[in-house]
């Protein structure tokens, strides 16, 4: 492995340590319906996103709300002793991918059958902290300046 590739891999590992994610697999809601809910909260503060999901009429919003709470629990596990209010968590990424599709047959006239597709999806929520991101970027710029001086 070359130096650039190794450095890039190391940087990605460090960035992944600062991310807090939660994944829900094979959720029996259509991906099209789930993407509407995901678009509502993408890029928002965690508390604001939870408020929006709490008062949303969509059934998919309950599942995303529980998923965000799971990601917050993952953040608390990694950062013991830090208050949630001080961290300024926000929804960095939310993406919905198609999951398994169950195919069923529905009887139709004249001996035919129509195919019914029961779709599912995979949802991934990634949270990040504004406070930690600012500190890390300041450290990275200092390190870059130090390496340029040498």
Indicate if the pLDDT at residue 86 is higher than 80: no
Domains annotated on the chain, with CATH:
19-149 (3.90.470.10)
Tokens of residue 107, six digits: 């009887």
Res 98 pLDDT > 80: yes
Q: Indicate the pTM of the whole model.
A: 0.79
DSSP state of 140: H
Average pLDDT of span 124-143: 70
The DSSP H or E segment spanning 150 is none
Residue by residue, DSSP assigns 42-61 as: TT-BHHHHHHHHHT---THH
16 pLDDT more than 50: yes
Gap between the Cα atoms of 84 and 5, Å rounded: 35
pLDDT score of 116: 97
What is the rounded CA–CA span in Å between residue 89 and residue 46? 6
Strands 113-129 and 89-107: antiparallel
The reported pLDDT for the residue numbered 144 is 53
- Are the C-beta atoms of 115 and 97 separated by less than 8 Å? no
CA-to-CA distance for 80 and 72, rounded, in angstroms? Answer: 12
Q: Would you place residue 139 in the very low, low, confident or very high pLDDT band (cuts 50, 70, 90)?
A: low
Between 19 and 100, the higher pLDDT residue: 100
Predicted pLDDT at 150: 46
Q: What confidence score (pLDDT) does residue 34 get? A: 97
Residue of 116, 128, 126, 124 whose CA lies nearest to 35: 124
The residues facing 113 across adjacent strands are 107
> Of 60, 61, 36, 31, nearest to 49 (Cα)?
61
* Res. 146 pLDDT band, cuts 50 70 90: low
């Amino acid at each position: 492995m070359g130096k650039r590739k190794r450095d890039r891999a190391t940087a990605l590992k460090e960035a992944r340590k600062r991310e807090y994610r939660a994944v829900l697999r094979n959720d029996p809601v259509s991906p099209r319906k789930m993407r509407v809910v995901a678009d509502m909260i993408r890029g928002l503060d965690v508390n604001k996103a939870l408020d929006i999901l709490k008062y949303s009429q969509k059934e998919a919003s309950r599942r995303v709300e529980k998923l965000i709470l799971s990601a917050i629990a993952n953040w608390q596990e990694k950062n013991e002793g830090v208050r949630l209010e001080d961290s300024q968590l926000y929804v960095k990424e939310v993406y919905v991918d198609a999951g398994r599709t169950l195919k069923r047959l529905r009887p139709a006239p004249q001996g035919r059958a129509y195919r019914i597709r029961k779709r599912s999806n995979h949802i991934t929520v990634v949270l990040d902290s504004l406070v930690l991101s600012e500190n890390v970027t300041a450290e990275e710029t200092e390190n870059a300046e130090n390496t340029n001086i040498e």
